[in-house]
Amino acid sequence: MIELSDIRKAYNQGRENEIWALNGIDLRVDAGQVTVLFGPSGSGKTTLLTVLGCLSRPTSGRVRLNGRDISGLPERFLTGIRRSTFGFIFQQFNLIKGLTALENIMLPAYPLGGDWRALRHRAEALLDSLRLGHRRSSRVEWLSGGEQQRVAIARALINDPEVIIADEPTANLDTALSGEFLDILESLLGHGRTILLTSHDPLVVEASIVRRIVTLRDGRIVEER
């Protein structure tokens, strides 16, 4: 589904503080499974996740999505690909304070147009499926950490993406909430989603739903299992 060929990513290129976060990554991500990018802080796993999700461009190398080379596409086309293909769950959730849970979920779908009532119905159905229907009118800053994460999951699903991308999704959750998150991921797999995670949490890495673990160190893949 996603293929990376000799991906390299530099920050501050040409300056004294130049850093190469990725150093020659070759990786293929197949559809319909959970892949975890694993490694210590500074290993390059988050940078690799942003390249896989078209959130950042590599300094060099090729990115292919469903057989199509998207490496050189203009940003406006990449924006369209992100909206239609990927759903993102960020470590800090990045919910908009002052807006309700329902409003936060609907936000990513507004640029796509379409019927507002149908969008609202879809957002409400997602909240109900995640046992948050009773909180739809609550401002997100009033929600617990676990509730905020479920809102973030619903927001990631609102455009019916093929791929769910999550950066350290259990970093701010206790064991019980982390287990609940993994249960939600398992249900998403049942609908044919592809899931990409970064994590150093043993609960995630050792979960039964994980089919592949890619270990990084110093911007390179050092192990796959």
The rounded distance, in Å, linking the Cα atoms of 37 and 197 is 6
| Tens-digit pLDDT profile for residues 209-223 | 999 999 999 999 999
The rounded distance, in Å, linking the Cα atoms of 131 and 181 is 13
Please indicate, yes or no, if residue 96 is contained in any of the structural domains: yes
pLDDT band at 9 (very low <50, low <70, confident <90, very high): very high
Residues 6+ apart with CB under 8 A from 133: 124, 127
pLDDT band at 90 (very low <50, low <70, confident <90, very high): confident
Please indicate, yes or no, if residue 3 is contained in any of the structural domains: no
Helix runs in the chain, H state only: 45-52, 75-85, 101-106, 116-129, 145-157, 175-189, 202-205
User: Which 3 state secondary structure label does DSSP give 75?
Assistant: helix
CATH number of the domain bearing residue 111: 3.40.50.300
pLDDT band at 57 (very low <50, low <70, confident <90, very high): very high
As a whole number of Å, the CA-based R_g of the chain is 18
Share of the chain above pLDDT 70, in %: 100
Please indicate, yes or no, if residue 128 is contained in any of the structural domains: yes
Q: What is the mean pLDDT of residues 157-184?
A: 92
Return the pLDDT at 23: 97
Please indicate, yes or no, if residue 10 is contained in any of the structural domains: no
| Tens-digit pLDDT profile for residues 131-165 | 999 999 999 999 998 899 999 999 999 999 999 99
Q: What is the mean pLDDT of residues 30-40?
A: 95
pLDDT band at 103 (very low <50, low <70, confident <90, very high): very high
Tally of structural domains, the chain: 1
Q: How many alpha carbons lie under 13 Å from residue 94 in its C-beta half-sphere?
A: 12
Please indicate, yes or no, if residue 4 is contained in any of the structural domains: no
pLDDT band at 172 (very low <50, low <70, confident <90, very high): confident
With CA atoms as reference, report the closest residue to 33 among 81, 1, 65: 1
Please indicate, yes or no, if residue 17 is contained in any of the structural domains: no
Please indicate, yes or no, if residue 50 is contained in any of the structural domains: yes
Please indicate, yes or no, if residue 71 is contained in any of the structural domains: no
- List the domain range (segments joined by +) for residue 108: 31-55+83-224
Residue 173 predicted with pLDDT over 90: no
Neighbouring CB atoms inside 10 A of 67's CB total 7
